[in-house]
Amino acid sequence: MKNLLTTLAVSALAFSSATPLLAQNQGRKGPEMDKKETAGTKMNIVETASGMNNFTTLVAAVKAADLVDTLSGEGPFTVFAPTNEAFDKLPEGTVDDLMKPENKAKLQKILKFHVVPGKVMAADVKTMDASTAAGESAKVVVKDGVVTYGGQKVIKTDVTASNGVIHWIDGVAMPAK
């Protein structure tokens, strides 16, 4: 699975009230990020995610789902982006199966479930049902300084792009249908 994802990612273009604790993470640099993250405001969501080391699986999935043009569009979009580690938590073979052309519609629905129309910064997040680009609502819960989206923990916030914002999540949120 890793070889397939690496091959796809190399050729791919990229991908889609919070507490002060969450806001503290914004702008922080670390080994998982590279210089392109800080220049995110001049790049769209797709370009921004493609320049980040933690999103190679997401980048490959967005390309396989033919969502690059959509997520490069005007927006604005808020993307709750699963990291590589989030995809690794899925059962063995799930990602490879979703990447198959015959599963494109299913992959699109899952990825669109991570996209909320509009630009929602961490300071604006509150407990709610968020309308997603997949046509279903995702539960956003703010409790005890922790924000979850579709049951997945938000681990980094407010990575800005020219057409929206990316928030990192530690799991892949799944639509109900």
Q: What is the CATH number of the domain that holds 92?
A: 2.30.180.10
Give the total number of structural domains in the chain: 1
Residue 39 located in a structural domain: yes
Residue 65 located in a structural domain: yes
Q: Report the percentage of the chain scoring pLDDT > 90.
A: 74
Cβ-contact 14, 139 below 8 angstroms: no
pLDDT at 41: 55
Residue 158 located in a structural domain: yes
Distances (CA, A) of 140 to 10, 49, 70, 114, 143: 33, 22, 24, 12, 10
Judged by DSSP in three states, 129 sits in: strand
Q: Report the percentage of the chain scoring pLDDT > 70.
A: 77
Range of the domain at 91: 2-169
Convert the pLDDT of each residue in 30-82 to its tens digit. Answer: 334 444 444 445 899 999 999 999 999 999 999 999 999 999 999 999 999 99
Residue 177 located in a structural domain: no
Is residue 156 pLDDT above 70, yes or no? yes
Residue 22 located in a structural domain: yes
Look over the chain and give the mean of its residue pLDDT values, rounded to a whole number.
81
pLDDT at 42: 82
Residue 175 located in a structural domain: no
Is residue 111 pLDDT above 50, yes or no? yes
